[in-house]
């Protein structure tokens, strides 16, 4: 048994050298797979349904994959389309795919497997007690489900495998577990599940398992009866047993036990050895099937609209009393806000966050050196309100108010903040937050992920 998987890069749109991809094709993969999404870059992408990578960069990568598919007659799978993996992202990728097919005169069976969740379905499962919180998780109730702008479920390999069983040549999916996209076809071919899921875990980041990943690039895996082998596509990159073993550390809380919808990948008994100067052999990985099949949810909700101000403080007198000075601004501004909306009975609700760069802005409560004030600090004021006009109105007032906010040591009008921009305030737009870290227990792996098949003929 040998299942061969080609991973052109860690995320579609990040790019890969054509020479690497050509090399991957020459090794006769059974499937070309790529991940398209993440929660890494924050909730804005799921919340607004916008992709992180540009359309043109994504089109370039997908075109090469579709042309490679055409030459070998093997399936292409792209998971978590459009970053968030909601319907907007899937449709965005579908349109790019159809455009390439038209331009390059390609014909194939295209499957779309949706990951966006129906709120009525989730509320029903919630009432049945079949949505559980992971640790830690924000609070959940029906209102939170209802107020989410988008919720996606992270599909397992089964809905993708079903699309392939039904004859799909190209499968584009909504949010999917990164590993599902790569484990799906080998498992379907009868490969060992422990080895397939572990290989998938490495493949999903492209060449990230190499010792020095000089640029976004790809990776190839051979999954056999009792081991798998991984090798970076670029001949200038190489893997070592340590670099491959290290890869399970990346972005996982526990490197030995990695949870997937159908169970847990257990790498605690995995053995890593050099297959060649560039390739690594892995054996002993196991997959333990869970008692209950679970799907992880990701949700984003709109928090408000922001306008921000960046300023620097170099005055030693202010730095000596930075917190009391900022508290004074906060309090004084609260009173000032009452005055600037004369047409409203009550001023709009707002939140003001002030971060002090140079002190504890980066680490917050985790910062052990929060007591140390350097010779200058950067101050970031963030005004969040229910609408953009209110946020902008308040931020422009705040910029002026803070600029001249006095300290007792100086007698006379002072200008306290070095603004690098004019106007000092920047419109930041809508702000989202992740509002779910929960799992659903569905009846089966398919019910949350409807799919459709299209015949693309050119």
Partner 1 sequence: MATLGELAKLIRSKNAGPFNLTFDVMFDEEETYRRVVESNVLTKEVFCRLYNLAEDKVLLVHHDDARAIKISIPRPVFSCDLEDADCYGGQQFGPLVGIEVPDP
Residue with smaller CB distance to partner 1, 96 or 219: 219
The single residue among 366, 412, 420, 455 that binds partner 1, judged by CB under 8 A, is 366
Q: What is 237-304 written as a DSSP string?
A: ----HHHHHHHTTTT-S-SSEEEETTEEEE-TT-EEEESSSS-EEEE--EEEEPSS--EEEEEEEEEE
Counting contacts by CB under 8 A, is residue 255 touching partner 1?
Answer: yes
Which residues fall within 8 angstroms of residue 406, CB to CB, at 6 or more apart? 413, 414
Peptide bond into 26 cis (omega under 30): no
Q: Please state the closest distance from residue 84 (CB atom) to partner 1, in A.
A: 12
- DSSP lists the bridge partners of residue 332 as none
The single residue among 252, 321, 396, 397 that binds partner 1, judged by CB under 8 A, is 252
Which residues fall within 8 angstroms of residue 285, CB to CB, at 6 or more apart? 194, 195, 197, 198, 265, 266, 267, 269, 270
Counting contacts by CB under 8 A, is residue 368 touching partner 1?
Answer: yes
The single residue among 104, 251, 327, 427 that binds partner 1, judged by CB under 8 A, is 251
> CA-CA distance, 101 to 338, in Å (whole number)?
58
Residue with smaller CB distance to partner 1, 336 or 433: 433
CA angle 298, 154, 4 (to 5 degrees): 145
Residue with smaller CB distance to partner 1, 189 or 354: 354
Pattern 19-58, partner 1, x by CB under 8 A: --------------------xxxxxx--------------
The residue count for binding partner 1 (CB under 8 A) is: 47
In the structure encoding, which two tokens stand for residue 346, read together?
């009550």
Q: Please state the closest distance from residue 24 (CB atom) to partner 1, in A.
A: 26
- DSSP lists the bridge partners of residue 336 as none
Residues 311/284, Cβ–Cβ less than 8 Å: no
Residue with smaller CB distance to partner 1, 138 or 328: 138
Stretch (H or E) spanning 67: helix 55-72
> CA-CA distance, 111 to 107, in Å (whole number)?
13
Counting contacts by CB under 8 A, is residue 147 touching partner 1?
Answer: no
The single residue among 50, 57, 72, 137 that binds partner 1, judged by CB under 8 A, is 137
Question: Where does this chain touch partner 1 (CB under 8 A) — which range of 67-75, 132-140, 327-335, 392-400?
Answer: 132-140
The single residue among 434, 450, 454, 456 that binds partner 1, judged by CB under 8 A, is 434
Q: Please state the closest distance from residue 208 (CB atom) to partner 1, in A.
A: 12
Counting contacts by CB under 8 A, is residue 14 touching partner 1?
Answer: no
Q: Which of 114, 109, 36, 113 is nearest to 79 (CA)?
A: 36
Counting contacts by CB under 8 A, is residue 419 touching partner 1?
Answer: no
How many Cα atoms occupy the beta-carbon half-sphere of 306 within 13 Å?
18
Counting contacts by CB under 8 A, is residue 453 touching partner 1?
Answer: no
The single residue among 361, 373, 418, 456 that binds partner 1, judged by CB under 8 A, is 361
Of residues 67-106, which lie at the interface with partner 1 (CB under 8 A)?
none
Of residues 275-304, which lie at the interface with partner 1 (CB under 8 A)?
303
Neighbours of 172 (CB within 10 A): 28
Counting contacts by CB under 8 A, is residue 378 touching partner 1?
Answer: no
Q: Which of 283, 298, 202 is nearest to 7 (CA)?
A: 202
Residue with smaller CB distance to partner 1, 60 or 428: 428
Counting contacts by CB under 8 A, is residue 254 touching partner 1?
Answer: yes
Residue in the structure block whose two tokens are 């050895």: 273
Residue with smaller CB distance to partner 1, 56 or 253: 253
Footprint of partner 1 (CB under 8 A): 39-44, 134-138, 241-242, 245-246, 248-256, 270-272, 303, 351, 353, 355, 361-369, 382, 384, 431-434, 437
């Amino acid at each position: 048994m040998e299942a061969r998987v080609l991973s052109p890069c860690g995320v579609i749109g990040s790019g890969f050298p054509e020479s690497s991809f050509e090399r991957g094709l020459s090794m006769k993969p059974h499937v070309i797979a790529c991940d398209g999404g993440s929660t890494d870059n924050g909730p804005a992408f799921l919340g607004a349904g916008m992709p992180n990578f540009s359309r043109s960069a994504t089109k370039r990568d997908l075109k090469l994959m579709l042309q490679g598919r055409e030459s070998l007659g093997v399936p292409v799978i792209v998971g978590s389309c459009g970053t968030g993996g909601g319907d907007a992202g899937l449709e965005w990728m579908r349109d790019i795919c159809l455009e390439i097919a038209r331009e390059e005169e390609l014909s194939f069976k295209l499957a779309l497997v949706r990951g966006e969740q129906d709120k009525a379905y989730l509320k029903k499962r919630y009432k049945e007690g079949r949505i559980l919180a992971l640790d830690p998780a924000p609070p959940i109730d029906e209102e939170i489900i209802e107020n989410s702008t988008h919720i996606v479920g992270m599909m397992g390999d089964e809905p993708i495998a079903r699309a392939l069983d039904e004859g799909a040549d190209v499968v584009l999916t909504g949010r999917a577990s990164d590993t599902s996209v790569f484990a799906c076809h080998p498992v379907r071919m009868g490969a060992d599940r422990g080895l397939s899921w572990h290989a998938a875990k490495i493949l999903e980041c492209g060449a990230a398992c190499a010792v020095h990943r000089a640029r976004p690039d790809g990776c190839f895996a051979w999954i056999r009866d009792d081991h798998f082998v991984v090798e970076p596509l670029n001949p200038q990159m190489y893997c070592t047993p340590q670099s491959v073993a290290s890869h399970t550390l990346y972005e996982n809380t526990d490197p030995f036990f990695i949870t997937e919808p159908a169970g847990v990948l257990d790498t605690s008994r995995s053995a890593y050895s050099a297959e060649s100067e560039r390739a690594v052999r892995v054996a002993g990985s196991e997959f333990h099937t869970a008692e209950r099949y679970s799907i992880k949810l990701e949700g984003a909700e709109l928090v408000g609209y922001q306008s921000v101000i960046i300023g620097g403080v170099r005055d030693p007198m202010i730095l000596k009393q930075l917190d009391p000075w900022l508290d004074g601004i906060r309090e004084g501004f609260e009173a000032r806000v009452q005055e600037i909306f004369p047409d409203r009975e009550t001023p709009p609700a707002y939140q003001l966050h002030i971060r002090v760069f140079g002190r504890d802005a980066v680490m917050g409560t985790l910062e052990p050196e929060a007591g140390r004030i350097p010779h200058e600090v950067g101050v970031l004021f963030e005004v969040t309100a229910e609408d953009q006009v209110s946020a902008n109105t308040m931020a422009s007032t705040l910029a002026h108010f803070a600029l001249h906010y006095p300290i007792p040591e100086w007698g006379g009008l002072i200008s306290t903040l070095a603004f690098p921009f004019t106007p000092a305030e920047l419109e930041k737009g809508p702000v989202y937050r992740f509002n779910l870290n929960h799992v659903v227990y569905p009846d089966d792996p398919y019910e949350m992920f409807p799919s459709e098949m299209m015949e693309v003929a050119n």
